[in-house]
């Protein structure tokens, strides 16, 4: 089993099946003292782990990958049970994503951590040999969310471990069992117990991890919480990566494949009941095809099967909680009060359970509606028309968020031109959401969507400190630029500047002659 921290706070969190309300487990919350103890143990283990060879670290990752593959159905079932999503979505968007992330880190670790030579262009520095070392931070703290309780933390844990760090993970209080399963898989792969620890608890436990002696923090969650974490981290200059959600726009141009784009909009908006930071939360469609596009989205939404995630026929599961469902209801109600129309959905499906909400398509949504500005995080697809490309870009950028976006067109050059103007960390042309499952691609956003990147090589860079090492090949020769200044030396250095940067070859030659005198000047200290 995963190593957890003994708890004595008296506070408890409960894991519940959101589809049925069944209690799956109850856990006491780790206190500040117990979180600190976990970090101390992690630091001691990391000192050994950082000296462990890269091939040995890779061996552990490969063992983890094999263990996950062997238990893929069990893990998918656990995720579905605790997060509510269809089991096939758990398999594809969580288990497969992590299997491929392990593949990427196994392949990339050696080249990434290899000593990197640094060339010197300045001729005065040609007697030096320099390189970059990438060294682990130490102990990485991770605070992860409930919507992807396995793939989000697992990808970051893999990245942290392969670069020589230890990890202390605080999962969402709603999905503790999935996090414990992740720890169990890592430890069964031969990872020392203290190198990856799971601390269970509520928001207070997350705050305790932020205030503990970790060396870096990765937080995935809401903007308000992310801002509070950034303020706490700033007090001691704790480096952070913040992934704070999105309000992702989908732009559909008049030359897009209508069938493909409408299917993408429906899947992109309703997958995981819309509880995805990369969900299609705003859909902008060019006027010429707007009516047909809306019609196809409504027709396809009618075909969706809503139910419990353990039913193979289910396509949309429950929302995670009443709190999240009420946010969706309030956004829909606000839009309707401003003149929006609900074409399908827009209501609870109480006959299925208290957390089910019908996949919803809305039109006539006006600017200023909460459903176009705030993160809804639910199964709602608001569709807005536009006329020209510039208008679509302006609408897409009219948001405090900037995580991802998509552009749909048969003209790739046109799509990529629009993509270059959208303010987002990722823009996909003729695809949606897949960027998170692309292990080589960085994940992260701009504006209120956060700071830093996870995944890919840029994600690996977040897990290391870069050290520059510089060795002079002439250790017995004093440097020309050391003390022993004076008017003559000043002229020599002016000549050196002319040698390097003058556009006149004549001045360069004269400058070279002046600069040579500095090599033989007297009076050096």
Q: Tens of pLDDT along 18-45?
A: 999 999 999 999 999 999 999 999 999 9
Structural domain total, the chain? 3
End-to-end CA distance of the chain: 65
Backbone angles phi, psi at 268, to 5 degrees: -65, -25
Which residues constitute the domain of residue 493? 478-520
- Given a contact cutoff of 8 angstroms between Cβ atoms, the answer to whether 47 and 215 are in contact is no
Burial 431-445 (b: 16+ CB within 10 A, else e): ebbebbbbbebbbbb
The residue assigned the tokens 């708890």 is 7
85 part of a folded domain: yes
What's the rounded Cα separation, in Å, for the pair 277 and 284? 18
Active site residues: 243, 277
2 part of a folded domain: no
Give 60-90 pLDDT, tens digit per residue. Answer: 999 999 999 999 999 999 999 999 999 999 9
- The per-residue pLDDT for 8 is 55
Instruction: Give the torsion through C-alpha atoms of 186, 70, 61, 275, to 10 deg.
Output: -70
Give 353-365 pLDDT, tens digit per residue. Answer: 999 999 999 999 9
pTM (two decimals): 0.95
Q: Which residue, 492, 164, 433, 418, is CA-closest to 272?
A: 433
Report CA 113 to chain centroid distance, whole Å.
Answer: 21
What's the rounded Cα separation, in Å, for the pair 158 and 58? 10
The tokens for 141 are 């703290």
Give yes or no: residues 493 and 429 share one domain: no
Percent of the chain with pLDDT over 90: 97
4 part of a folded domain: no
- Given a contact cutoff of 8 angstroms between Cβ atoms, the answer to whether 379 and 273 are in contact is yes
Give yes or no: residues 89 and 227 share one domain: yes
**What are the helix (H) ranges across 5-150?**
32-49, 54-70, 72-83, 87-90, 96-113
Q: What is the mean pLDDT of residues 158-174?
A: 98
Give yes or no: residues 207 and 71 share one domain: yes
21 part of a folded domain: no
Give 465-488 pLDDT, tens digit per residue. Answer: 999 999 999 999 999 999 999 999
- The per-residue pLDDT for 524 is 87
Number of alpha carbons in the 13 Å side-chain half-sphere of residue 493 = 10
The residue assigned the tokens 């923090």 is 217
Positive or negative, the Cα torsion across 370, 371, 377, 379? Answer: positive
Task: Kindly report the CATH number assigned to the domain that includes residue 299.
Answer: 3.40.309.10
Residues 6+ apart with CB under 8 A from 328: 274, 319, 357, 376, 377, 378, 379, 380
192 part of a folded domain: yes
- Given a contact cutoff of 8 angstroms between Cβ atoms, the answer to whether 175 and 148 are in contact is no
Burial 244-264 (b: 16+ CB within 10 A, else e): bbbbbbbbbbeebebeebbeb
Give yes or no: residues 223 and 89 share one domain: yes
69 part of a folded domain: yes
Give yes or no: residues 213 and 332 share one domain: no
Q: How confident is the model at residue 10 (pLDDT cuts 50, 70, 90)?
A: confident
Give yes or no: residues 255 and 238 share one domain: no
Q: How confident is the model at residue 254 (pLDDT cuts 50, 70, 90)?
A: very high
Give yes or no: residues 300 and 189 share one domain: no
134 part of a folded domain: yes
Give yes or no: residues 150 and 180 share one domain: yes
What's the rounded Cα separation, in Å, for the pair 76 and 511? 71
- For the beta carbon of residue 14, count every other beta carbon within 10 angstroms: 12
What's the rounded Cα separation, in Å, for the pair 62 and 105? 10
Give yes or no: residues 462 and 384 share one domain: no
- Given a contact cutoff of 8 angstroms between Cβ atoms, the answer to whether 436 and 406 are in contact is no
Cα distances (angstroms) measured from residue 254 to each of 134, 259, 390: 48, 12, 14
Give yes or no: residues 231 and 264 share one domain: no
What's the rounded Cα separation, in Å, for the pair 251 and 238? 38
What's the rounded Cα separation, in Å, for the pair 233 and 342? 43
- Given a contact cutoff of 8 angstroms between Cβ atoms, the answer to whether 220 and 145 are in contact is yes
Residues 6+ apart with CB under 8 A from 405: 248, 249, 250, 251, 396, 419, 422, 424, 426, 427, 428
DSSP 357: B
Give yes or no: residues 205 and 180 share one domain: yes
271 part of a folded domain: yes
Number of alpha carbons in the 13 Å side-chain half-sphere of residue 323 = 2
Q: What is the mean pLDDT of the chain?
A: 96
* Dihedral class, residue 67 (left if φ above 0, else alpha if ψ from -120 to 50, else beta): alpha
What's the rounded Cα separation, in Å, for the pair 43 and 51? 13
What's the rounded Cα separation, in Å, for the pair 417 and 441? 20
Packing angle between helix 176-188 and helix 54-70, nearest 10 degrees? 120
240-243 and 216-220 as β-strands: parallel, antiparallel, unpaired?
parallel
SS3 at position 4: strand
The tokens for 64 are 């983890």
Give yes or no: residues 136 and 39 share one domain: yes
Task: Kindly report the CATH number assigned to the domain that includes residue 62.
Answer: 3.40.605.10
Give 298-353 pLDDT, tens digit per residue. Answer: 999 999 999 999 999 999 999 999 999 999 999 999 999 999 999 999 999 999 99
């Amino acid at each position: 089993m995963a190593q957890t921290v003994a708890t004595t706070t008296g506070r408890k969190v409960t894991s519940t099946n959101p589809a049925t309300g069944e209690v799956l487990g109850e856990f006491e919350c780790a206190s500040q003292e117990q979180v600190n103890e976990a970090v101390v143990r992690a630091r001691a283990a990391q000192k050994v782990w950082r000296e462990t060879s890269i091939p040995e670290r890779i061996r552990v990752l490969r063992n983890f990958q094999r263990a996950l593959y062997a238990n893929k159905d069990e893990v998918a079932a656990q995720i579905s049970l605790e997060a509510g999503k269809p089991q096939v979505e758990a398999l594809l968007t969580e288990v497969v994503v992590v299997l491929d992330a392990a593949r990427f880190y196994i392949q990339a670790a050696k080249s990434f951590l290899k000593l990197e030579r640094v060339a010197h262009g300045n001729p005065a520095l040609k007697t030096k040999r320099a390189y970059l070392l990438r060294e682990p931070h130490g102990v990485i703290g991770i605070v992860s969310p409930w919507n992807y309780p396995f793939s989000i933390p697992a990808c970051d844990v893999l990245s942290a471990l392969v670069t020589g760090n230890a990890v202390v993970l605080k999962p969402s209080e709603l999905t503790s069992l999935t996090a414990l399963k992740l720890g169990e898989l890592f430890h069964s792969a031969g990872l020392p117990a203290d190198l990856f620890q799971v601390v269970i608890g509520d928001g207070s436990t997350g705050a305790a991890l932020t205030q503990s002696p970790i060396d870096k923090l990765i937080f995935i969650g809401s903007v308000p919480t992310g801002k509070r974490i950034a303020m706490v981290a700033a007090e001691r200059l704790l480096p952070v990566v913040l992934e704070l959600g999105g309000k992702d726009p989908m732009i559909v141009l008049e030359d897009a494949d209508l069938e493909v784009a409408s299917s993408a909009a429906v899947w992109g908006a309703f997958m995981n009941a819309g509880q995805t930071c990369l969900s299609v939360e705003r859909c902008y469609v060019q006027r010429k095809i707007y009516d047909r596009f809306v019609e196809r989205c409504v027709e396809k939404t009618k075909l969706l099967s809503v139910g419990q995630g353990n039913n193979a026929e289910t396509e949309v599961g429950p929302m995670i909680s009443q709190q999240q469902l009420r946010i969706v209801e309030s956004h829909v109600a606000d839009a309707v009060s401003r003149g929006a129309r609900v074409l399908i959905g827009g209501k609870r499906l109480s006959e299925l359970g208290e957390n089910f909400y019908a996949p919803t398509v809305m039109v006539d949504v006006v600017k200023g509606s909460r459903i176009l500005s705030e993160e809804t995080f639910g199964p709602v697809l608001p569709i807005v028309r536009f006329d020209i490309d510039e208008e679509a870009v302006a609408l897409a950028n009219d948001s405090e968020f900037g995580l991802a976006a998509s552009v749909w067109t048969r003209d790739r050059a046109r799509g990529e031109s629009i993509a270059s103007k959208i303010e987002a960390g990722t823009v996909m042309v003729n695809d949606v959401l897949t960027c998170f499952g692309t292990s080589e691609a960085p994940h992260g956003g701009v504006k209120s969507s956060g700071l830093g990147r996870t995944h890919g090589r840029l994600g690996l860079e977040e897990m290391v400190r870069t050290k520059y090492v510089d060795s002079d090949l002439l250790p017995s020769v004093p440097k020309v630029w050391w003390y022993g200044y004076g008017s003559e030396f000043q002229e020599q250095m002016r000549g050196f500047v002319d040698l390097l940067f003058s556009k006149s070859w004549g001045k360069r030659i004269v400058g070279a002659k002046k600069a040579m005198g500095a090599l033989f000047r007297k009076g050096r200290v």
